[in-house]
Structure 1
């Protein structure tokens, strides 16, 4: 089978690096936990990483512990003190000085993928819940076409950079659960980025290394051909396509994440519905005072929805020109949360098939 990545298997424990933070110890649930004060620019993922805690494993626990001090049930407040979840030493990699205190350290399966960038290339295995599943991920625009444009803090921002970053984060989540992933639009230089303003470039290519055409119809047809060829090659396997875009509307119109599918595709509808259902539950949990208005519906008029063979969903993340939506798109912690929520919906779809 031709995989999108060259896989390098590693089996070892990866130590976390502990950075200096202003911190104290408090008692919580009869265990000694650490508290930290959020500084300007901190997000949940970056705060946990700085304190040597795996944010992918402890994100939801952090929110549960600190819910009263979070804006919109998901954002840190500068100057507020937060409790860091207690890391179980017998189930996660630890540094040597802490390792001596653990009776047992579990080895962690991992693989490395350079396309995620130096800081994110290691993918730790979380489960095999998606074993046997194949996903084709297409981020909108790229190459000569930046997609929707806007200005933030006096600098230009482009749809393709943010759609690509979310797509990479989603790919990493899916891989961590045992899926096979093809990233169709690729930029070998970018990797997963933590900046708010992502630099615009034009060097994206189409899988495996095809130049992206300037003509819009040619660009779309190229993606259709790539996906359909791979679909034919992997005939008989469970295959799904996920397309990620950022919308552009009037500045005053903010929108929630919404999903499209082919009107005649039962599997595509179920995939879109599963992710939509996940987003609804997340909003109820983390933003109980805010209604989620995103929808899932058929939109066969979209070229990729109409022409591609795998069951698929087409995701619109938000309005790049709207100030509220820009917070969702530009904040790297929000981009990670979006990828995580989409992946949970994908897992729900796969396990309930």
Structure 2
């Protein structure tokens, strides 16, 4: 065999073997008892808020109800550059106000661990959203005892609202979080500690009187609405209900009877929930509805088209599973955001 031919064969052999050297192995882990998506990702040293969606996409056929892990099953872990976690932590520590770092926005309102929000798309570019969580400040809403500890409505509505805000921001929306807590951020515990230090945007003390408290929120939203005149604007209120302990309720959506855009927003989110339940819980009837509730103060007096969302009954044991599990709270925020995206697509 000539030297030239030997060289060619050797070179071709190198080409044949090169791809196998460059292949990246897929990392998987086995879910242990008590693991949720958040805790599993955190064990891998990853930011669970940032990588939650990617994890679900990779493992959607191996999840119960699109959000729960099966103990003992193997799950694919999203591939993350080695320095990503360090970068996220650095950005979170240095952030004192919203600022852009490449395709990452950072805001301390989400807490030290989750300050960074990756911009995934510009699907909501130009849209403005006002997010109000129920109660807050001197009024925690209804309280209930859970495993010997006290839980309150406002803490869970606020946590879901923060998660929703991150989802909307990740698609390019300008988002105002109207009720704000300077030190809570997104929390992954089941029992969220009660405090009374929430303020109204940008930093107003929340009145104890219910009517004054609601009027304050209306005035803030309406002022911002006029400042953003001409833009696509929507208001979303999240509220945890309090009913008799025996009453299990699904997620409900309300709108103003005379608001065509508000009705479409509520209907779009409701339609998304229906689709999710059919997909992930086909044997369970979803009984949540959307309807006009024009008598509610916030529904009646705010200017933007709006959807008022009742998340569940804090006193009911079944609803507590939906509200207290951080993975469930993330799923609720994700589903609401998908309904918001559907509404925006239909409205443009």
TM-score strictly above 0.5: yes
With the length of structure 2 as denominator, give the TM-score of the two structures.
0.84
Of 60, 64, 70, 1:63 maps to 60
Residue 95 in structure 1 maps to residue 87 in structure 2: no
Of 198, 201, 210, 1:204 maps to 198
Residue 83 of structure 1 is matched in structure 2 by 75
Checking the alignment, whether the CA contact within 8 Å between 1:108 and 1:124 is kept in structure 2 is: no
Unaligned runs of at least 5 residues, structure 2: 1-22, 85-100
Distance 2:223 2:330 in 1: 30
Pick closer, same or farther for the CA change 1:86–1:175 going to 2, 3 Å: closer
Checking the alignment, whether the CA contact within 8 Å between 1:271 and 1:346 is kept in structure 2 is: yes
Residue 8 of structure 2 is matched in structure 1 by none
Residue 300 of structure 1 is matched in structure 2 by 294
Residue 239 of structure 1 is matched in structure 2 by 233
Unaligned runs of at least 5 residues, structure 1: 1-29, 88-92, 98-106
Partner-residue secondary structure (3-state), 1:227 = helix
Q: CA RMSD in A?
A: 1.9
Mark the structure with the bigger radius of gyration.
2
Residue 223 in structure 1 maps to residue 220 in structure 2: no
Q: State the 1:49 CA deviation.
A: 4.2
Partner-residue secondary structure (3-state), 2:265 = helix
Q: How do 1:1-150 residues align onto structure 2 when only pairs under 5 Å count?
A: 33-51=26-44, 52=46, 54-64=51-61, 66-67=62-63, 70=64, 72=65, 74-78=67-71, 80-84=72-76, 87=79, 93-95=80-82, 109-150=103-144
Distance 1:39 1:120 in 2: 24
Residue 96 of structure 2 is matched in structure 1 by none
Partner-residue secondary structure (3-state), 2:104 = strand
Distance 2:167 2:229 in 1: 24
Checking the alignment, whether the CA contact within 8 Å between 2:28 and 2:77 is kept in structure 1 is: no
Checking the alignment, whether the CA contact within 8 Å between 1:49 and 1:55 is kept in structure 2 is: no
Q: State the 1:212 CA deviation.
A: 0.4
Q: State the 1:176 CA deviation.
A: 0.6
Q: State the 1:73 CA deviation.
A: 5.2
Residue 266 of structure 1 is matched in structure 2 by 260
Task: Give the helix-richer structure, 1 or 2.
Answer: 2
Instruction: Give the count of matched residue pairs.
Output: 305
Checking the alignment, whether the CA contact within 8 Å between 1:224 and 1:304 is kept in structure 2 is: yes
Q: State the 1:96 CA deviation.
A: 5.9
Partner-residue secondary structure (3-state), 1:129 = coil
Residue 330 in structure 1 maps to residue 324 in structure 2: yes
Residue 346 in structure 1 maps to residue 340 in structure 2: yes
Distance 1:314 1:44 in 2: 28
Q: State the 1:285 CA deviation.
A: 1.3
Q: State the 1:86 CA deviation.
A: 5.9
With the length of structure 1 as denominator, give the TM-score of the two structures.
0.82
Residue 182 in structure 1 maps to residue 176 in structure 2: yes
Cα deviation 1:31-58 (Å, max 9, x = unaligned): 9644423223311233234334822223
Distance 2:192 2:29 in 1: 28
Partner-residue secondary structure (3-state), 2:112 = coil
Q: State the 1:60 CA deviation.
A: 3.3
Distance 2:39 2:191 in 1: 16
Partner-residue secondary structure (3-state), 2:312 = strand
Partner-residue secondary structure (3-state), 1:160 = helix
Distance 1:247 1:61 in 2: 34
